[in-house]
Structure 1
Amino acid sequence: MHLDVIPQLLLVTGVIFLILLVVLNKTLYRPLLNFMENRDKSIKRDLENTGKNSSDILAYQEEANKIILDAKMEASKIKEGVIGTVKEEASKKIEESKASIEKEYEKFLDELRAQKTELKSALIANMPAFDEGIKSKLSQI
């Protein structure tokens, strides 16, 4: 068996191979390469957006932290204001109670002095009767 090379067949095979390469290039390789290139661009764009989103998230987080800090400071100021007001009211009530107690105490002392004076007057008025009682007791001894 012996193989002959037929130039027309070789030429037709070469032309068919080249046509096949052109057809495959247009229908398969270029769309596939374009798809891969677009996918790479999309991935890069998504990575950039992710970085941007991360920076946006950090900015939002900082803003939220600032708002929380401001709210805490405002709550602290309100709390201090309320505590101050309550302390002032308590001080006023204490002072009013002290003044009321002092008035009552003075009134009590005045009544006590009056009773002391009445008692002294009563004792002085009854002194002669006491003297006679003492004398009669002494005379009985």
Structure 2
Amino acid sequence: MTIIPTPWVMALVFVVFLVLVYLLNRILYKPLLGFMDTRDASIKKDGEGIEGNTADIKALQKEANEILQNARAEAALIKNKAQDSAKQTAEMKISQKKDELAQKYSAFVVGLEEEKARLKASLESEIPLFKESLKVKLEKL
């Protein structure tokens, strides 16, 4: 037995098809498309946020580099000041030691001059004794 489609059955199938398309569109496709649109918008927004964050990160890196450069310059300045201060202290100590040694040297020279004068006086006072002992020794010869 063959079934011959009648126009009523075809019309009924067409109506059921249209109702099915309407229900699927309303229940399934529209929410699915809405979800996909919101997801695309969220991804786009996140992408823009990433670009903004990248710009913020670059700005923060630039600021950090500037801070580091300033800190290095300040450290170099502090180091130079400390070195200059140490040089001045060392030069001052060297100058004091030179003055102290110059005073000791002049005192030593004065002492030598005094000793020289005493020895000269002592030798001059003993010249007559040397002359006599020299005469005695020459006479023995």
TM-score tier by shorter-chain length is over 0.9
Runs of 4 or more off by more than 4 Å in structure 1? none
Answering whether residue 97 of structure 2 is matched by residue 97 of structure 1, we say: yes
* 1:2 positional shift: 3.4
2:22 is matched with which residue?
22
Q: Deviations over 1:97-128 (max 9, x none)?
A: 00000000000000000000000000000000
1:42 is matched with which residue?
42
Q: Helix, strand or coil for the counterpart of 1:5?
A: coil
What amino acid sits opposite 2:66 in the alignment? Answer: K
- The number of aligned residues is 141
Distance 1:132 1:96 in 2: 54
Q: TM-score if structure 2 supplies the norm length?
A: 0.97
1:140 is matched with which residue?
140
Q: How does 1:22-101 map to 2 (within 5 A)?
A: 22-101=22-101
Q: TM-score if structure 1 supplies the norm length?
A: 0.97
* 1:92 positional shift: 0.3
1:114 is matched with which residue?
114
* 1:139 positional shift: 0.6
2:9 is matched with which residue?
9
What amino acid sits opposite 1:20 in the alignment? Answer: L
Q: Deviations over 1:6-26 (max 9, x none)?
A: 111111111111111111101
| Range with bigger deviation, 6-15 or 104-113 | 6-15
Distance 1:86 1:26 in 2: 87
Distance 2:30 2:55 in 1: 37
